[in-house]
Structures are given as C-alpha cells and as structure tokens.
A and B are shown apart, each in its own frame.
Chain A
Amino acid sequence: MSDQQVRNEVETNSGGGAAPAPLLEMQGICKRFPGVIALDRVDFSIGAQEVLGLIGENGAGKSTLMNILGGIYQPDGGEIRMDGRVVHVPDVTASMKLGVAFIHQELNVLDNIDVAGNVFLGREPRRGGPLLLIDRKRIHENTRPYLKRLGLDISSKTLLKDLPIAQRQMVEIAKALSLDARLIIMDEPTSSLTLHETEQLLKVVLELKHQGVSVIYISHRLAELNDIADRVVGLRDGKNAGELTKDEISHDAMVRMMVGRDIKSFYVESHAEVTQAHLRVRGIRSRSYPQYQVSFDASRGEIFGFAGLVGAGRSEVMEAIFGIDRQPAAQIYMGEEQLKIRSVRDAIRHGIYLVPEDRRGSGLITRMAIRENIPLPAQGRYAKMGCLISRRLETKTSEEQRESLDIKTPSVETEVVNLSGGNQQKVVLGKWLSLEPHVIIFDEPTRGIDVGAKAEIYRIMRDLAKAGVVVIMISSDMEEILHVSDRVAVMCEGRITGVLTREHCSEENIMQLAVGNQVEGALPPFKQDKGEAA
C-alpha cells in the first residue's frame, strides 16, 4: 500500500512541468436555503499537493461549500470537476470514492473502540467465513503503517477515550488516508487543540502535502494559515471575496478579505495599570492534579490571561472559583473580605461569573428563548409575589441586553439555538451583565466565533475591565492571549509556572512556561504552590 503511495508521489512530482488540470474545480456553485442564498456562483479550485486556506466569517458559506463537496448538500447550480472530469456527489459515500475526506470540527470517532477499529470502521478485515469475525491480527497490522505515516507513536490497540483530542484527530486523519484520500478537508481542526498540539498538526499537514495529499484548511486562526497555506481563498456573504497567493498572505490582508474593510483596533490595546489585587485566590486544587495548589492575584482594570496547554487544569481552577467544584480548603478574597463559595449560587451572589468554554453545553439552554435564558441566574428578581414570573420584566431586561450588546436576532423570543456563535456568546454575556459583575471569568471566549464578533467581544471585555470588573480570560489562542491580556499566568500540569507582565509576554516565553520550563522575567508562583504534595 505504502509503496504504491510512494509511486504516486513520484509521478505527481515528475509530471509537474506542464500545467495539469487542477485536482478539484468547483465552478459557479449556487445553493439556496429557504430564505437565504448560501452560495452565489462561487468558484473554487485546488491543485494537487496544495494546502489551501479557506476563510470567511461565520455564515459566509464555507461550510455549505465544503458540505457540497462532501456530498452532504446538493448544489442548485454549477459543476464540480475532479481531474478535469465532471463528477456528481450525491452522498457522502460518493465523495469518499472520489478521494475526498472531510474531518469535521466535531470528530466522528467512537470512544469505546480502539484505534484500529476506528480506522477500519465499516471496512473491518474479516475471517471465519460466514461467521464474519473481525480479523484482529490483520486490522492492527493494516493500521500501523498509517499511524507511522502520521508520526503517531501510539499502539493501534489503544481505546480512543484514552487519547487526547489531538490524537483522536490524528486517528481520523489516518482513517482518511486508509481510504486513499487525495483531498482532506479540515474544518477548524485546531479549535480545541493546545499550542503544542497545533504545531504538531501543522507539521502533519505539511507532511501530508509532501506525501501527495491536498488539504483544504478552514480556520479562524489566521496565524496558522500564515504558516502553512500555499493560497488563501476568502468567502463573504456566499460570494467569492478574493484570493491571496503565498506572498500576499498576511493577517491584515486576510481580515480585510473576510470583512471587506479594515477592522481598526481589532484588539483594543490597553494601558491598564495593575493596581492593588482585588481578587485573591489561594490554594485551589484542580481535580486532575490534586497534588498542586494554584494561587493568584488579579486586580481591577486588567484582563488577566491564563495560558497553557489544554488539560493543564485552567478550566478546573476557574470552575472551583465559580463553585462548580467544591473546595473547602481554598481561600478566595475579594478586597478584604473572605468569600465562602460552596455552590454556584454563592459565587453568583458575590458577583463572580463564568462564561464557560462549552457555550451550547454549559452556557445556554439552547432550546429556550433569549428572554428565558438571560434572567435565569437571578430568576427571583423577575418574580411577582415571590414566585410568579413576570414576563414583562424579563422582556425589558432582555431587550436592554440585546440593545447594549447588539445581539442580532429578530426578537428576544427567538430560541438561542437559531443564533450564530457570536450572538450566542453575547446572550451568555447578557445573562451576567444584567447583574452586578465583580469578577467575570471568560473560558475560551471567542472559540468558533467569527472575526467581526471577536472584535466586539474583546471590546466588551475591555469595557468591563475599565468599569472596574476583574476580567480573567482563559485562552488557547496565542494571538488572543498576547494581544488581549495585560498579564498572563501560564499553567502547566495543574500549577502556575509563572506570571508574565506585558513586557515579558511573548510566544516563546509562554510556550516555555506551558511545558514547565523556567523563564527569566516571569514572576514566580506563590511559595506554597511549589510542588507541595497533598
């Protein structure tokens, strides 16, 4: 199998002289949905061994275009050509046969099955004739070469649930390779990866390219495209918005293409002075690393960033502060007062709010209206005679939040599930801003949110900080950490390895701290946190 692959590679390399037909061409693709034109005569092409970045705001039509290629949607007009021949893609199977593999943002792997079983799911090598037993020996033998090609050093017998997300993703790529994919579509592949894992993935993408596979790479993280894309195609409002060649690719150019204008002050620069610590946290232990303690100080007016690898325990620490995870031994002070936080209700009473990482899962009740979501944390305030809900008060507050946060919705009665990611995030914010925040913790606040909405969220965060709220932000997006936060605490395996002030804040320093190394200029963590065994 791999021999043949090598031969293919040689052929494509040697045949590169004349201009061959591109691997894939999509011409004049149109797609209408009830009420909207999702794609309006979009042209798109990708050559052999090309890494193509596809960018656009949410709703620009990227997913629709890729879903047409993946056989999930049928186009209303236009044609698709593979190797110069017109092809039809009526369903997912057809698209697989053409050598197109689609790796969705939400991975399609089975947790309870091992690596080999996932790679060959539905195509298991069989033995035992009519008994249809799985040939366990062969399935593992067949899997190994693909893992090797991806530089993945794991056993094919590992259960998927024992692997980190990044490696599960690799398993899905291995599955694509086993299907002889020539074109792999990756939709936001790094949205839940750490910096280190992201680097690994980008390496793999380049490696795949050398092995003769083309990759369509959809991402909101423009820096990644800067690193790997040979070409970037932009979509805006369902139309082609332009194309950048390798030399033209830059952050600003990409943003301009997506938004159609310059977003000035995309990041609101701050000159916040770190004043006296207002929120002091001492001795929190994360569930995954109970042997370490975490302590930090955050002051009003600043945005205090938390960087680190996914799984370093950042979210767990914040959940403990928010009362999700009860920690009787931890001490939390606001000003001079020591807070007793035994439940989420306590945290909310003290004005400590969390904007969780998983917006749809933990932040919102998506099948409820905006009007029902916003009052939820303090429903008692919307009640007459102590217990009967006043719809009028709910509507009033929801309308206020809708206006001040500029939530784009037909009405506050709209179910949250129908809103875009950015607007959903604003509803989560609206829940908290309708109360009196003292501390707001943002966990991955802009994950999966488009550029325009991102800028708005940053502005809101900065405004909150200016208004005297302690703003804490967990982020795995390096650009975001570098540009938005005033100070950055970096965590590694359940402890804070250092706190960087603005002048020492660099990608290099954060990475070093995130893997547990010492960095010059970083403020050391609190004494009692250092490797104290529980």
Chain B
Amino acid sequence: MRKELGIFILLVVLCTLVSIMNPRFISGINLSNIANLVGMFGIFSIGVGLVIITGGIDLSVGSTFALAGVLLAMALREWNVPWPVATILIVLFPMTLGAIHGFLVTVVKMQAFIVTLCGLLLYRGLAQYVAGNMTKGFGSCEGFETLKHLASGRLYEVMDESGKLVFPGVPNSFILLIIIAVIMWIVLHRSVYGRYVMAVGRNEEAARYSGISTRLVIASTYIIAGVLTGISAVLFAFYTNSVTPSTHGNFYELYGIAAAVLGGCSLRGGEGSVIGIIIGAALIQILQNFVNLLGIPSSLNFAVMGAVILLGVMGEQSGDFIRLLRKTKLAKSLSKNLALWQGMRWGSWILILAGLGLIIFYAIQFRSTKELSVYFFCGFLLAGLGVLTWYITAPAQDEWESGAAAN
C-alpha cells in the first residue's frame, strides 16, 4: 500500500503543477483525451503486470497490437467478417499467442524474456507481411459503426445546438478499464487464484510443495495478459483508425512494463497490485501530456519519460541509499552535535520550501516558456536535497527528543 501511495502522491503533484502552468490541462476535452489513453494503456498494463508478478515478462505486446490491428482491419474491410465475430476472434488471437508463450515458458522451460522477445520480432514481421507492408485503415467504418463507437466513443457526450462540445464525455475505453480493473482486483487480491499467483511469484518452489500447479498458474497469466492485450488492440486500432504495421504499437510493451514497475511490481516477482499498475499507467500518460502542453520539444518525450520512471523507481528503492547515508560520519555526528543537527534540520525545511517555491513561482510566472525547464530542474533538485537531508536527520531527532525528555 505504501508504494501505491508514493506513486499516487507523485501523480497528484504532477497534475497540480501542470494545471498551474497550463490550465488547458484541466479542460474537459484534455482530461477526456487523457482518460481515453489511460484506458487503453491501463488495460494491457494490468496483463503485463500480472505476468511480471509471477516473475515473468511479456515483451511481445506492441507487435501483437500491430498484428492484431492489421488482421482486424483486413477482416472487417477486406474479408467482410461480421464485426462481432471479428472482434471476438481478434481478442482470442492474442490469447492463443499468450497460451503458446505460457507453454514455452512452463513446459519447454524457456526464459520468458527470450520467448516474448522472439514474439516481438515474429509478430511485427508477420504483421508487415500479412499487410504487404501497407497501412490498413477502417475508412468510414461502414457496416461496423457500432464497433467503432464502442471502441472509441464517449459516454454522456453533450453538445449544444451549434455542435459545440459542452461536456466531452467519458471515453468508453476508460469505462472498460474500470470494469476490467475491478474484476482483476478481485481476481488478484481476493481470489484463490490471485493468492496462487502471488505465492508462485514469491517462491515457486514452495508453492509447488504446497500442491499448487505452478505451471498452470504461470501459463494462465500469459493467457490473461493475451486477452487484455487483445482488448487493447481493438481499442488502439480504432483510436488510430488505421494500422501501419511497421510502427503501430511500437514500444508499447515497455509502457506496460514501466507502468507495472512504477506501480510497485518487482521484476523479481511476487509484488504488485492492480491499483498500482493503473496509477503507473496514468502517470506515464499524464507525463506525455505534460510534455506536449508545456511545449517541451517532443523529441525529448522519451527522455523525460525515462527520467521520471527512473526517479520514481529510485524513490521506491531509496531505503537502502538512505541507510547508507545515515552511516556516514556526518550523519553519525548528528546525534552528538546539537547545533549541527538543528542546522541541518532547519536547512532541510528551507531547502524543501525554497525548491517548491521556485517551482511554483516560475510555474506561475512563465507558463509554458522554454526557460522553465531549467528553473524547474533547480527547484526539484533543491526540494529533493531537502527531503534527503530531512531523512538523514530523522533518526537523530528521536535521540534528541528522548534525551530532552530524560533531562
């Protein structure tokens, strides 16, 4: 729970900052767009997270999107398959791929990384071949308007007479995410199956000695991930409305993994929660939105994301680092030197406040100009330094206070 809280606070802070700097962030249409993205990315991230919890990994998601997307477009437009059948088949297809991954991992005992890496290459290549390396579009969706509306429509969209949006509506993908999240939350955190998943992730051997068929449990997570990938694939295909096999879904598997890891999943397995994964997915989407809204060159998109994910995971793992700092001479002398301790204690607060002040001041002052990033960076640095100092001085506080009480 602690991990989820930390990442949630990061999310709130980020949202607050962006909305101060660019109020367009909290405009209805922007929020609705973000919700749509969070919905699409969140759904398959849950699947990726589930696989990670058992200690595996799924790298093939992005290519699966391309292959499934191409097949969906061709099925609907070229082969004239009725849309309900096509949709079901396209959801079942990645499920089958997941079953194959699961089989290779548990029975043939190949490493998940290798299996799904090969999948990544294989499916991308197949997608390009099947589509003859051509972009496959849905056009005006004749005959499957309902599917188009289900996949990319919005609920409670309200327009006035002139056709202006009054309320942008809740994207269906987001609603789907909520439904899936609730189901998966029950499955993972309340059901017998979920307990087995956690147990296998923590200690496969002990789970086996307790009579759990670990192979079945592990394979099933790949299958579930496949289903969720399939659902996302349909959503993505209609989101872009055309599927270019060479680029569609590129790197998406990494977004999923990043969301899971940010949300508290450990690549060693046995840790993670559905709520964490969704917050992680939301954070990544908001971060991208942030880059767009603040006019940061979009070429820096990946760099910003990489940096924030790094910081986020670093924050979760900072316990050991702080313990190391507390062992330094400076930290040790804190419990002996009252003036030094007080100085650092106050200093830490001043640093935190100064850092936050700097960020907020320039955020208001300069709104979306490019100089911003520098001040921003300085502000974060100061605040971060302050938090670190605060942590280092924390243990000495007990000593001084208990000492004061004793005196």
User: Whole-angstrom distance between the alpha carbons of A378 and B206 in the complex?
Assistant: 14
> Is the CB of B171 closer than 8 A to any CB of chain A?
no
Select the stretch in B137-145, B187-195, B310-318, B360-368 that faces chain A.
B187-195
Interface set, chain A 336-391, CB cutoff 8 A to B: 343-345, 347-348, 354, 356, 358, 361-368, 372, 376-380, 382-383, 387-389
Return the contact of B202 from the options A358, A362, A368, A379 (Cβ within 8 A): A368
Interface string of B182-214 (1 = CB under 8 A from A): 000010001111111011001101111111110
Chain B residue with Cβ nearest A349: B211
> Is the CB of A324 closer than 8 A to any CB of chain B?
yes
Chain B residue with Cβ nearest A380: B192
> How many positions in chain A have a CB within 8 Å of any CB in the partner chain?
30
Tell me how far the C-beta of B182 lies from the nearest C-beta in chain A, rounded to whole angstroms.
13
User: Whole-angstrom distance between the alpha carbons of A380 and B202 in the complex?
Assistant: 20
CB neighbours of B190 from chain A (8 A): 388-389
Known interface pairs A344-B211, A348-B211, A388-B186; A362-B206 also in contact (CB < 8 Å): yes
Tell me how far the C-beta of B191 lies from the nearest C-beta in chain A, rounded to whole angstroms.
5
Interface string of B11-48 (1 = CB under 8 A from A): 00000000000000000000000000000000000000
> Is the CB of A431 closer than 8 A to any CB of chain B?
yes
Are B205 and A368 closer than 8 Å at their CB atoms? no
User: Whole-angstrom distance between the alpha carbons of A361 and B209 in the complex?
Assistant: 10
A-B contact pairs, 18 of them (CB 8 A): A324-B208, A343-B213, A344-B212, A348-B211, A354-B209, A361-B206, A362-B206, A362-B209, A365-B203, A366-B202, A372-B195, A372-B199, A376-B210, A382-B192, A387-B192, A388-B186, A389-B192, A389-B194
Chain B residue with Cβ nearest A345: B211
Chain A residue with Cβ nearest B191: A387
Are A367 and B211 closer than 8 Å at their CB atoms? no
Chain A residue with Cβ nearest B187: A387
User: Whole-angstrom distance between the alpha carbons of A382 and B186 in the complex?
Assistant: 15
CB neighbours of B168 from chain A (8 A): none
> Is the CB of B69 closer than 8 A to any CB of chain A?
no
CB neighbours of B198 from chain A (8 A): 368
User: Whole-angstrom distance between the alpha carbons of A425 and B128 in the complex?
Assistant: 57
Interface string of A440-457 (1 = CB under 8 A from B): 000000000000000000
User: Whole-angstrom distance between the alpha carbons of A389 and B190 in the complex?
Assistant: 6
> Is the CB of B102 closer than 8 A to any CB of chain A?
no
Are A362 and B213 closer than 8 Å at their CB atoms? no
Are A344 and B202 closer than 8 Å at their CB atoms? no
Are B212 and A376 closer than 8 Å at their CB atoms? yes
> Is the CB of B270 closer than 8 A to any CB of chain A?
yes
Chain A residue with Cβ nearest B194: A389
CB neighbours of A324 from chain B (8 A): 208-209
Tell me how far the C-beta of B186 lies from the nearest C-beta in chain A, rounded to whole angstroms.
7
Known interface pairs A376-B210, A377-B210; A367-B270 also in contact (CB < 8 Å): yes
Known interface pairs A361-B203, A376-B199; A383-B213 also in contact (CB < 8 Å): no
Return the contact of A389 from the options B191, B205, B206 (Cβ within 8 A): B191
CB neighbours of A372 from chain B (8 A): 195, 199
Known interface pairs A364-B206, A365-B207, A389-B190; A379-B196 also in contact (CB < 8 Å): yes
* Residues of B bordering A, CB below 8 Å: 186, 190-196, 198-199, 202-203, 205-213, 270
CB neighbours of A322 from chain B (8 A): 209
Are A344 and B192 closer than 8 Å at their CB atoms? no
CB neighbours of A348 from chain B (8 A): 211
CB neighbours of A382 from chain B (8 A): 192
User: Whole-angstrom distance between the alpha carbons of A415 and B202 in the complex?
Assistant: 12
New contact pairs (15) apart from A344-B208, A362-B206, A367-B202, CB-CB < 8 Å: A324-B209, A343-B213, A344-B210, A356-B209, A362-B208, A362-B209, A365-B203, A366-B202, A368-B202, A372-B199, A376-B210, A376-B212, A382-B192, A388-B192, A389-B190
Tell me how far the C-beta of B326 lies from the nearest C-beta in chain A, rounded to whole angstroms.
13
CB neighbours of B212 from chain A (8 A): 344, 376
User: Whole-angstrom distance between the alpha carbons of A372 and B213 in the complex?
Assistant: 17
User: Whole-angstrom distance between the alpha carbons of A324 and B186 in the complex?
Assistant: 31
Are B193 and A387 closer than 8 Å at their CB atoms? yes
User: Whole-angstrom distance between the alpha carbons of A378 and B211 in the complex?
Assistant: 8
Are A368 and B192 closer than 8 Å at their CB atoms? no
Which 3 pairs of residues, A with B, have the shortest CB-CB distance? A348-B211, A376-B210, A344-B211
Chain A residue with Cβ nearest B203: A365
Chain B residue with Cβ nearest A381: B192
User: Whole-angstrom distance between the alpha carbons of A356 and B206 in the complex?
Assistant: 9
User: Whole-angstrom distance between the alpha carbons of A347 and B203 in the complex?
Assistant: 20
User: Whole-angstrom distance between the alpha carbons of A388 and B193 in the complex?
Assistant: 9
User: Whole-angstrom distance between the alpha carbons of A86 and B207 in the complex?
Assistant: 51
CB neighbours of B213 from chain A (8 A): 343, 345
Tell me how far the C-beta of B217 lies from the nearest C-beta in chain A, rounded to whole angstroms.
12
Interface set, chain A 367-420, CB cutoff 8 A to B: 367-368, 372, 376-380, 382-383, 387-389
Interface set, chain A 68-99, CB cutoff 8 A to B: none
Chain B residue with Cβ nearest A358: B205
Chain A residue with Cβ nearest B208: A344
Interface set, chain A 280-327, CB cutoff 8 A to B: 322, 324
Chain A residue with Cβ nearest B189: A389
Are B191 and A388 closer than 8 Å at their CB atoms? yes
Are B211 and A377 closer than 8 Å at their CB atoms? yes
CB neighbours of A387 from chain B (8 A): 191-193
Return the contact of A368 from the options B199, B208, B211 (Cβ within 8 A): B199
User: Whole-angstrom distance between the alpha carbons of A387 and B195 in the complex?
Assistant: 10
Q: Which has the most chain A C-beta neighbours within 10 Å: B194, B202, B206?
A: B206
Are B209 and A379 closer than 8 Å at their CB atoms? no
Chain B residue with Cβ nearest A376: B210
CB neighbours of A378 from chain B (8 A): 211
Are A365 and B192 closer than 8 Å at their CB atoms? no
User: Whole-angstrom distance between the alpha carbons of A345 and B211 in the complex?
Assistant: 5
User: Whole-angstrom distance between the alpha carbons of A388 and B209 in the complex?
Assistant: 22
User: Whole-angstrom distance between the alpha carbons of A387 and B209 in the complex?
Assistant: 21
CB neighbours of A364 from chain B (8 A): 203, 206
User: Whole-angstrom distance between the alpha carbons of A195 and B153 in the complex?
Assistant: 74
User: Whole-angstrom distance between the alpha carbons of A361 and B186 in the complex?
Assistant: 29
CB neighbours of A368 from chain B (8 A): 198-199, 202
Chain B residue with Cβ nearest A394: B195
User: Whole-angstrom distance between the alpha carbons of A343 and B195 in the complex?
Assistant: 20
Are B199 and A365 closer than 8 Å at their CB atoms? yes
CB neighbours of B207 from chain A (8 A): 365, 376
CB neighbours of B195 from chain A (8 A): 372, 376, 379, 389
Interface string of A29-47 (1 = CB under 8 A from B): 0000000000000000000
CB neighbours of A344 from chain B (8 A): 208-212
User: Whole-angstrom distance between the alpha carbons of A364 and B202 in the complex?
Assistant: 10
User: Whole-angstrom distance between the alpha carbons of A411 and B191 in the complex?
Assistant: 23
Tell me how far the C-beta of A381 lies from the nearest C-beta in chain B, rounded to whole angstroms.
10
User: Whole-angstrom distance between the alpha carbons of A372 and B192 in the complex?
Assistant: 11
Are A363 and B206 closer than 8 Å at their CB atoms? yes
User: Whole-angstrom distance between the alpha carbons of A362 and B203 in the complex?
Assistant: 8
Are A363 and B196 closer than 8 Å at their CB atoms? no
CB neighbours of B202 from chain A (8 A): 365-368
Tell me how far the C-beta of A443 lies from the nearest C-beta in chain B, rounded to whole angstroms.
11
Are A363 and B209 closer than 8 Å at their CB atoms? yes
CB neighbours of A388 from chain B (8 A): 186, 190-192
